[in-house]
Amino acid sequence: MPTAIHIEVLPARLGDCLLVECPRPSGAPWRMLVDGGPGDTWPVLEERLRHLGRSDRHVDVAVITHIDSDHIGGMLPFLSSDLAAGVGDFWFNGRTHLPGHGPGTERSVAQGESVVTALLGPAGDPLSAGATKPGDAVLPWNEAFGRGPVDTGAAGGFVEVAVPDGPTITLLSPTTARLARLADAWASALREARRERVREVEPDVLAPLDDLRRIADQRTPKDASVPNGSSIALLVEHRGASVVLGADASGDVLAAALHGLARSRGTETVAVDAFKLPHHGSRANVTAALVAAAPAAHYLVSTNGDTFHHPDDAALARVVVGAPPGPTLCFNYRTPRTERWADPGLTERHRYRVAFPDPGRADAGFVLDLPARP
Ligand SMILES: [Zn+2]
C-alpha cells in the first residue's frame, strides 16, 4: 500500500523536531513541522527543509507546541529565515491567546504582532533587546482557529480542525484551564523557557530492567510544568493511518481527550498506528491510563537523554506492559539508555520490538512510513 503518513523524528538532542508528510494522490504532499528542537537543531532542520525541491519548500502547518527551549530554540532562526514565508499557518499560543490575563486584551493575534515578536517579547522587553527587528513580517497565525487560541476547552474536550485537502487533525491538548495557568506565569515561563539548559554533568545511572511490571507500577509524580501543560498535542489521520503527536503534554489531559474522542466515535479507545510519547518518554507524562487510552503499534521517543536522562524506564515499561501485543519502540537516538531496551531476552519475554535510526543515516533521525488502509 502507498504511504499515507510519513514521519521523521529528527535528531534534536533533548528536544522535539518532527516533520510529518501526508502524500496526496496528485500534487505536493501536505506537510507539517512540529517544533524546532533546541537552538543547535537549526542546522539539521534547515538542511532538511532546503533539501526539499525549490518548488516544494512549503510547510502547510508549523506547530510551536509550547515555549520550552528544547522546542522553540530551532524555531527562532526558522522564523527569521526565508523558509518561514513558505508556511501556510503557524499554530502557537502566544501571550495574546491566553485567557484571563487582564481586561481589554484581545484574545486574538494583536495587530502587527508577529509570531517572532510573541516569542522574543515586545521591543524594549529585556528578553528581546536587540533580538527583534522592526518590520518582522506578520505571518499567518492560528488561522485554522479563527486566529484565536489553540485549545480544547474543558478537560475531556477535543477539537476537530478543518484542513482543506489535507489529513483530519484533532486537537487533544491544551485545555483552556492549562492555558490560563500559563497566562499567570507567562513572563517568567518565557524567560525560563528560552534559557538553554546547561548540559547535565551528573552521570546517568541505569537501573536493571529486571521486572518490567514492577517498574511500570512505580508510583511517580505527575508533570507539574506549566509550559509543558500548555502543549499543543494532535491526532493526525490520513487515508486510514494515524499518529498521536503528544508534545510535552500532560498524560491526564491527553488521556481525557482521547477518552472523549473515543466516546464520540462509539469506541472504547482511540487505536492508532503510532504515538509520539509526550515529554520525551517521561514517567511523569506517560501513564498507564494514557497507554490504555490510545493503544498503538509504534511508540516514538524523541530524546538523546541529555540533561533529563529521558526516556524513563517506568514510561517505557508502561508501554511494553500496556500496549497491544507486539509493539515497536522507536528511538531517534541509539544511547546506552535506549539500547538496553533492545536486549533480546527482554524483547522475547515481553514480545515487543525496538527500532533505531538507520546507522548509515543517523542524521536523518527516525523515519516511519505508515501505509494507507482501504
Ligand atoms: Zn520538551
pLDDT in tens, 312-341: 999 999 999 999 999 999 999 999 999 999
Q: What does the pLDDT average to over 352-359?
A: 96
Q: pLDDT tier at 367 (50, 70, 90 boundaries)?
A: very high
Residue 94 has a pLDDT of 85
CATH label of the domain that carries residue 340: 3.60.15.10
User: Which residue segment(s) compose the domain that 30 sits in?
Assistant: 3-101+110-371
Cα 249 to averaged position of ligand 1 atoms, centre (Å): 9
Question: Is the model's pLDDT at 236 over the cut of 50?
Answer: yes
Q: How far is CA 235 from CA 23, 99, 203, 254, 372, in A?
A: 17, 24, 36, 10, 16
Cα 176 to averaged position of ligand 1 atoms, centre (Å): 20
Q: pLDDT tier at 111 (50, 70, 90 boundaries)?
A: very low
Beta strands in 43-145 (DSSP E): 59-63, 87-91
pLDDT in tens, 36-57: 999 999 999 999 999 998 888 8
Cα 320 to averaged position of ligand 1 atoms, centre (Å): 22
Three-class secondary structure of residue 243 per DSSP: strand
Cα 286 to averaged position of ligand 1 atoms, centre (Å): 13
Residue 352 has a pLDDT of 98
Residue 25 has a pLDDT of 80
Higher per-residue pLDDT: 135 or 67: 67
How many domains does the chain divide into? 1
Residue 165 has a pLDDT of 79
Residue 117 has a pLDDT of 66
Cα 333 to averaged position of ligand 1 atoms, centre (Å): 15
Cα 279 to averaged position of ligand 1 atoms, centre (Å): 5
Question: Is the model's pLDDT at 113 over the cut of 60?
Answer: no
Residues with CB under 5 A from ligand 1 (ion): 70, 248
Cα 374 to averaged position of ligand 1 atoms, centre (Å): 35
pLDDT in tens, 120-166: 555 433 333 333 444 445 678 899 998 889 999 999 999 999 787 78
The values of phi and psi at residue 232, to 5°, are: -85, 115
pLDDT in tens, 205-222: 899 999 999 999 999 999
Cα 280 to averaged position of ligand 1 atoms, centre (Å): 6
Question: Is the model's pLDDT at 110 over the cut of 70?
Answer: no
CB 97, CB 72: distance < 8 Å? no
CB environment 148-179: b (16+ within 10 A), e (fewer) = ebbbbeeebbbeebebeebbebbbbbbbbebb
Q: What percentage of the chain carries pLDDT values higher than 90?
A: 69
Three-class secondary structure of residue 369 per DSSP: strand
